[in-house]
């Protein structure tokens, strides 16, 4: 038995306890490594793409979007769920950039993949860097999206992340990863 196997839980039964657009709540009955039986609920949602888009001038295309869960406008980056049939995540990132901002990218490259909340959900976020982005079309927003598009200097976004003014975890992850490793 490997070290990881000795920590693994065994799933005795599983079912979707609640469905809604965008995610489900899954209820598992599990047995822990010490034999304890308990239940565990988590958010089940499709993978997502997050785009750090740079204009030809080096500014970043950003979005402001109402987020009901935190009751405020969120300042962040274009992002969205991977849709069924999205076999190419670069194409999914291009689509989300275009739909949310109306910008097209010259190039799109992978940046990192993270599990942002693996204690309560199975979310997987694939981050990309898009370069040479230019406005090319109107936004094509989903029925439940209210998004304003702007551009900001990269250094201003870094300062906002440092100062706590940029609170969107996806955006902060993309900026920090890009700054450290990009």
Which residues of the chain fall below pLDDT 70?
Answer: 1
For the chain, give every domain's residue range. 3-44, 48-181
Q: What is the pLDDT of residue 1?
A: 61
Task: Estimate to the nearest angstrom the gap between the alpha carbon of 146 and the chain centroid.
Answer: 17
Q: What is the pLDDT of residue 107?
A: 98
Q: How far is CA 68 from CA 71, 97, 171, 177, in A?
A: 5, 22, 18, 27
CATH code that applies to domain 48-181: 3.90.79.10
Model confidence, pTM? 0.92
């Amino acid at each position: 038995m490997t070290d990881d196997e000795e920590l693994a839980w065994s799933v005795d039964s599983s079912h979707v306890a609640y469905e809604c657009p965008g995610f489900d709540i899954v209820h598992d009955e599990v047995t822990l490594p010490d034999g304890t039986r308990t239940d565990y609920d988590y958010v089940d949602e499709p993978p997502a793409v997050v785009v750090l888009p740079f204009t030809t001038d080096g500014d970043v295309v950003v979005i402001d979007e109402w987020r009901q869960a935190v009751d405020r406008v969120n300042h962040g980056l274009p992002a969205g769920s991977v849709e069924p049939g999205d076999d190419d995540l670069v194409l999914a990132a291009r689509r989300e950039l275009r739909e949310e901002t109306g910008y097209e990218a010259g190039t799109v490259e992978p940046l990192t993949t993270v599990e942002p909340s693996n204690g309560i959900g199975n979310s997987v976020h694939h981050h990309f860097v898009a370069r040479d982005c230019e406005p090319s079309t109107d936004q094509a927003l989903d029925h439940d999206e209210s998004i304003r598009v702007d551009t900001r200097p990269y250094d201003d976004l870094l300062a906002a992340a440092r100062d706590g003014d940029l609170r969107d975890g996806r955006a902060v992850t993309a900026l920090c990863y890009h700054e450290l490793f990009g």
